[in-house]
């Protein structure tokens, strides 16, 4: 198939693109390469896909054994260039992983979330509508559950009380997708990602922050005095689920071919256990700076992924110790520590 992956220079987008290419799909990746975090890390990911950093906006290089990969530097909120891309490329499937990420950053720069996550997502939906896209798979987030007390989180839970603008934007995406599925019979699948970690991860995520600080002899910031739990999910498990959804033929014979799934590890890990596993791998005792809860944050997340297991045979099976070991090995190699 010919598949558009938005956010292809991002953490999850890069890994999804890599597996799709290995599976012999034709992949077009777009990303605006913004400076929310180190752009050199984004270019390094693209280099792994055979793309050499240049000043030009379009890069073609089906090297390094990949099937065919084209990369275009573009923002999904661009109302002129995005429709042109769809018209020129004639995609079968769209995987929308482009978004302004980060709960805490949404408190500082709310406009970025409206531009990318609302305006940009509307543009994606409009392009899918006008270009006969067979299936739109898009990133939602576990943050939509807000202060949900029921554990584990299930897609049937009420998610009407987001506690950050990031969460509100992701809930908005789900509502917008439902509308387009209903009005235009576009198959859409939203994936509520839980805490994803692994090689090539984002520098603003806990795994990266803790490893970086500990190797440099700095204290790590531990919020809510460490009384936190997360459904930490290794990147390979996440990508397995995303790719299975992209590759499965959709059924568009319902009134609104709209689906929402949790995608996580089907488990919850105490933050202190997570830190202990990092300490064990590094052979370094962390200097923990215990801090109060951050605005927009939640104490515990835990995904019920039975829907994905039933419909797609999803099977997250990477132990936290193995995932942490793989990340730290990558980190030391990438930064030559």
- Catalytic residue numbers? 166
- Interatomic CA distance for residues 297 and 182, integer angstroms: 33
- Interatomic CA distance for residues 42 and 68, integer angstroms: 19
Of residues 71, 58, 128, the one with CA closest to residue 94:
128
- Interatomic CA distance for residues 250 and 160, integer angstroms: 28
Strand partners, 263: 193
- Interatomic CA distance for residues 27 and 25, integer angstroms: 6
Q: Is the Cβ–Cβ distance between 188 and 181 less than 8 Å?
A: yes
Of residues 244, 233, 129, the one with CA closest to residue 180:
129
Strand partners, 269: 230
Which CA distances in Å does 192 have to 18, 230, 279?
A: 21, 14, 29
Q: State in Å, rounded, how far the first CA of the chain is from the last one.
A: 40
Strand partners, 190: 138, 260
CA angle 231, 312, 96 (to 5 degrees): 70
Structure tokens at 2: 């010919």
């Amino acid at each position: 198939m010919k598949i558009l992956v938005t956010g292809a220079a991002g953490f999850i987008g890069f890994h999804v693109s890599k597996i799709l290419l290995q599976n012999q799909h034709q992949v077009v990746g777009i990303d605006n390469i913004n400076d929310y975090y180190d752009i050199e890390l984004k270019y390094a990911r693209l280099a792994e896909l055979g793309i050499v950093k240049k000043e030009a906006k379009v890069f073609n290089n089906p090297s390094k054994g990949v099937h065919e990969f084209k990369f275009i530097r573009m923002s999904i909120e661009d109302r002129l260039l995005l429709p042109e891309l769809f018209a020129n490329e004639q995609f079968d499937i769209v995987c929308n992983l482009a978004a302004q990420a980060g709960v805490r950053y949404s408190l500082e720069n709310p406009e970025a979330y409206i531009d990318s996550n609302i305006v940009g997502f509307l543009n994606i939906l409009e392009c899918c509508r006008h270009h006969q896209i067979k299936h739109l798979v898009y990133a939602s987030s576990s943050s939509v559950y807000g202060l949900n007390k029921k554990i584990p989180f299930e897609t049937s839970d009420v998610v009407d009380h987001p506690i950050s603008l990031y969460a509100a934007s992701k809930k908005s995406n789900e509502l917008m997708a439902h509308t387009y599925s209903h009005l235009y019979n576009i198959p859409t699948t939203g994936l509520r990602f839980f805490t994803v970690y692994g090689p090539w991860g984002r520098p603003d995520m806990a795994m990266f922050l803790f490893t970086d600080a500990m190797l440099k002899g700095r204290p790590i910031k531990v919020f809510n005095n460490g009384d936190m739990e997360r459904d930490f999910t290794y990147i390979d498990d996440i990508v397995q689920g995303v790719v299975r959804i992209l590759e499965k033929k959709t059924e568009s014979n319902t009134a609104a071919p709209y689906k929402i799934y949790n995608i996580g590890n089907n488990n919850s890990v105490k933050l202190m256990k997570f830190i202990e596993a990092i300490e064990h791998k590094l052979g370094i005792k962390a200097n923990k700076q215990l801090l109060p809860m951050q605005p927009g944050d939640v104490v515990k997340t835990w995904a019920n992924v039975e829907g994905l297991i039933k419909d797609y045979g999803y099977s997250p099976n990477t132990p936290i110790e193995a995932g942490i070991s793989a990340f730290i090995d990558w980190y030391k190699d990438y930064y030559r520590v």
